[in-house]
Amino acid sequence: MLRELNQSFWPKKDEGGLPRKMLPGAYHHLLQDRQEEGERERGGGRRESSLGAAMDSTSVIIIGAGMSGISAAKTLSDAGVKDILILEATNRIGGRIRNTYFADLSVETGANWIEGVHGEEQNPIWEMAQQLGLRTFRSDYTVEAAIDESEKIHSLGEKYSKTLPPSGRNDISISTFQRLENKIPSTPLEMIVDYYSYDYEFAEPPRVTSLQNTVPLPTFDDFGDNVYFVADERGYKSLVYNLATMFLKTNSQGVIVDPRLQLGKVVTEIQYSGDGATVSTDDTSSYRADFVLVSVSIGVLQSDLIKFNPVLPKWKILALYEFDMAVYTKIFLKFPFKFWPDGDDREFFLYASKRRGYYPVWQHFEKQYPGANILMVTVTDEESRRIEQQDESTTKTEAMEVLRSMFGKDIPQATDILVPRWWSNKFFRGSFSNWPLGVNRHEFDSIKAPIKRLYFTGEHTSEHYNGYVHGAYLAGIDSANMIIQHIRDGFFEVEIKPKDSRAEMEYKEDDHDHGCFYEDQQFWITQMPPIILGKEGAPPTSNIFMDSPGCKADGPHGAPEATSKLLQRRSKKGEGCEGGSITSKEDRDVKVIVAAASKREKGMTREQQHQVFIIRSAACHSHPNDSRTKENVGRHVSMI
Same domain? 441 vs 310 = yes
Count of alpha carbons within 13 Å of 196, Cβ hemisphere only? 37
pTM, two decimals, is: 0.73
Beta-sheet strands, E only, within 103-145: 105-108, 113-117, 136-138
Domain boundary among 469, 491, 523: 523
Where on the phi/psi map is residue 345: left (φ > 0), alpha (ψ -120 to 50), or beta? left
| Predicted pLDDT of residue 144 | 60
Any binding-site annotation on 208?
no
Domain boundary among 539, 566, 600: 539
| Predicted pLDDT of residue 146 | 54
Any binding-site annotation on 88?
yes
Domain boundary among 488, 523, 558: 523
Residue 73 identity (one-letter amino acid): A
Phi and psi at residue 242, to the nearest 5°: -65, -40
Same domain? 258 vs 277 = yes
394 assigned to some structural domain: no
The answer to whether 444 touches 461, Cβ cutoff 8 Å, is: yes
Range of the domain at 619: 588-637
| Predicted pLDDT of residue 603 | 54
The answer to whether 145 touches 541, Cβ cutoff 8 Å, is: yes
Same domain? 168 vs 220 = yes
CA of 48: how far to CAs of 12, 51, 243, 488, 604, in Å? 17, 5, 28, 10, 24
Partner residues linked to 517 by β-bridges: 506, 522
| Predicted pLDDT of residue 543 | 54
Look up 115 and say whether it is catalytic. Answer: yes
Catalytic residue among 108, 115, 322, 536: 115
184 assigned to some structural domain: yes
550 assigned to some structural domain: no
Residue 113 identity (one-letter amino acid): W
Any binding-site annotation on 68?
yes
Same domain? 253 vs 269 = yes
| Predicted pLDDT of residue 545 | 54
Class of residue 241 by CB neighbours under 10 A (exposed 0-12, middle 13-18, buried 19+): buried
**DSSP string across 420-431:** --TTT-TTTSSS
91 assigned to some structural domain: yes
Edge to edge, what strands does the sheet with 374-380 contain?
416-418, 328-334, 374-380, 361-364, 348-352, 544-546
Same domain? 470 vs 485 = yes
Phi and psi at residue 526, to the nearest 5°: -125, 165
Residue 277 CB neighbour total at 10 angstroms: 25
The answer to whether 374 touches 334, Cβ cutoff 8 Å, is: yes
Distance between CA atoms of residues 74 and 62, nearest Å: 11
- The DSSP code for 459 is G
CATH code for the domain in which residue 158 is found: 3.90.660.10
Same domain? 508 vs 592 = no
Same domain? 460 vs 498 = yes
Same domain? 318 vs 440 = yes
Same domain? 201 vs 259 = no
629 assigned to some structural domain: yes
Mean pLDDT in order along the chain per 10 residues (640 residues): 38 31 29 35 44 74 98 97 97 98 96 96 97 95 63 76 74 86 86 91 91 86 95 97 98 96 98 96 96 98 97 94 94 97 86 95 94 97 97 98 96 98 97 86 88 96 93 97 92 72 37 31 28 29 47 32 27 34 40 44 50 44 42 45
Number of domains comprising the chain: 3
Any binding-site annotation on 377?
no
Phi and psi at residue 176, to the nearest 5°: -65, -40
pLDDT in tens, 593-611: 444 444 444 455 545 544 4
The answer to whether 445 touches 497, Cβ cutoff 8 Å, is: yes
CA of 582: how far to CAs of 585, 589, 613, in Å? 8, 11, 14
Same domain? 318 vs 434 = yes
414 assigned to some structural domain: no
382 assigned to some structural domain: no
CATH code for the domain in which residue 76 is found: 3.50.50.60
- The DSSP code for 170 is T
Edge to edge, what strands does the sheet with 136-138 contain?
113-117, 226-230, 136-138
Same domain? 242 vs 175 = no
379 assigned to some structural domain: no
Same domain? 82 vs 220 = no
| Predicted pLDDT of residue 162 | 77
